[in-house]
Amino acid sequence: MTRGRLIFPFMASYRRLDVEAMATVGYDDVYREPILIDDGSPLGASGRIEMDAVLVPAQVEDRAMNELRMTGAGNTPRSEVTVVHHFRDLEGIGLVGDDGMALLRVGDRLEAIYDRDGAKVLDAPAPPGLYVVEARPAGMGLGRRRNLLVVTLRERTEGAPV
């Protein structure tokens, strides 16, 4: 039975937070982010450790896509982007856990968005970066399996509360 598909997909490049590797450096379980390390500077250094980039098919919401087009000209009207992923795609690249939950989580960072031809549509360098602030399943497909994952990303400085 069909589970649907994304319409006009792009490719989103994510750098997932490596929580296991940060266990020795420091990870705040309450805020779900790395702690700042005292390096003598006023702000401290980030203990953030990221996994290798992973490309995920994504549907970028229309309003967000129009605003992303403006960022190329240096105009950033909004610092929040919503993208939708299909669970079938996430399963295919190993981003669904044994419990059926997506492995894209709060704290992961969007690195870039590419079009079908591989041209970069959005570059989201860190800092400040675009970080996942919400990743929630939305709806079940006809086969009574999870269908879509809606991901909200926000621009923010590391260590700033979500």
| Each residue's pLDDT tens digit, 1-28 | 566 778 889 999 999 988 787 777 777 7
Res. 135: pLDDT tops 60: yes
Domain count, the chain: 1
Q: Which domain holds residue 122?
A: 10-155
Position 1 in a domain: no
Integer CA distances (angstroms), 146 to 13, 53, 56, 143, in order:
22, 24, 17, 9
Q: pLDDT at position 63, please?
A: 61
Q: Which residue has the higher pLDDT, 87 or 32?
A: 87
Query: Cα(131)–Cα(129) distance, rounded to whole angstroms?
Result: 6
Contact, 34 vs 27, CB < 8 A? yes
Position 101 in a domain: yes
Position 5 in a domain: no
Q: Which residue has the higher pLDDT, 148 or 41?
A: 148
Position 80 in a domain: yes
Position 4 in a domain: no
First and final C-alpha spacing in the chain: 38
What proportion of the chain, given as a percentage, has pLDDT over 70? Answer: 78
